Amino acid sequence: MEARSAGERDGRWAEIAYEAIAPVYDDFTAHHDYELWLGQLLALAEKHGLGEGRRLLDVGCGTGKSFIPMLAKGWEVTACDISAAMVELARDKVGDAAELSVADMRALPRLGEFDLIWCLDDAVNYLLDTDELAGAMAGLRGNLGPGGLLIFDVNAIKTYRSFFAEEVVVERDGRRLIWRGLSDPDAAPGSVFEASFEVEPEEGGGGIAIEPELHRQRHFTDAELRAALEGAGLRCLGLYGHDEDGIPRQPFDEAEHTKAIYVAGVSP
């Protein structure tokens, strides 16, 4: 079945895709060690001058996996996501322990003044052009407090030439979660890449089916990302790459790492 692209023309396609994936998102990402990964990112923030403030803004928070470990560390958390369904799942987990809202990072409102902002799990790659990227960076900058730091990740070209060009099936609780890469494994950097995600109940397994929904991402080059940071009054303090182990290393290599991690601060 062909992936649906409902809402694409009015800019809601990413929201719709995540509304669909929300009920099974935690199952599909169950193999990710967020405790380890976030600990590594926090160490990077400390390396680049994170102060004693403990106010975190998590943009693109999904079901809460990217901020729940920070609550246990004593951080005051505000978080948002474009998908209301994802936000509700996060709220079910934490109640009023975090301030949660629905927001579009392309036009991020001022939610407060934060010591650390992060935008993780390739949320930035769902921006499809440099104008959307510039708008997002401006919104992130507008929420940074004095001396605050921004951390975000983007997928490396290695990810698009592998994960976005292959099929991944996760069988869990009587369901088959199916990711189908639709992209050319030889596509050039800076291209837009597509995949579909669907859920099929296994025979006798019960559960709901989710029809194929389109996931579309853009690979951003380092030059494009640095230009967007500079345009927003930010500067890159550090660039790291990591593979499936989630451990940041330098130098970042597009062909060797699955993700790039940027640490940025306000330009002097």
CA 5 to chain centre: 20
H or E stretch at 195: strand 192-201
CB 175 within 8 A of CB 200: yes
Is there a single domain that holds both residue 26 and residue 50?
Answer: yes
On whether residue 31 sits in a domain, the answer given is yes
Is there a single domain that holds both residue 85 and residue 126?
Answer: yes
Higher model confidence: residue 207 or residue 136?
A: 136
In sequence order, what are the beta bridge partners of 102?
Answer: 81
Mean pLDDT across the stretch 52-70? Answer: 98
pLDDT in tens, 164-173: 999 999 998 8
On whether residue 3 sits in a domain, the answer given is no
Domain extent at residue 67 = 9-156+221-266
Residue 89 pLDDT > 80: yes
Given the structure tokens 């934490």, which residue do they identify?
A: 94
Mean pLDDT across the stretch 228-257? Answer: 97
* Tally of domains within the chain: 2
Higher model confidence: residue 5 or residue 51?
A: 51
pLDDT in tens, 33-44: 999 999 999 999
- Identify the pLDDT of residue 13: 81
Is there a single domain that holds both residue 129 and residue 165?
Answer: no
Please give the radius of gyration of the chain, using alpha carbons only, rounded to the nearest integer: 18
Spatial distance between the Cα atoms of 92 and 85, rounded to a whole number of angstroms: 11
Residue 99 pLDDT > 70: yes
Residue percentage of the chain with pLDDT more than 90:
90
Is there a single domain that holds both residue 114 and residue 227?
Answer: yes
pLDDT in tens, 103-124: 999 999 999 999 999 999 999 9
Q: How far apart, in Å, are the Cα atoms of 204 and each of 76, 174, 200?
A: 44, 8, 11
pTM, rounded to two decimals: 0.96
The SS3 call for residue 27 is helix
- Identify the pLDDT of residue 4: 54
Q: How far apart, in Å, are the Cα atoms of 37 and each of 27, 34, 97, 99, 120?
A: 18, 5, 21, 22, 11
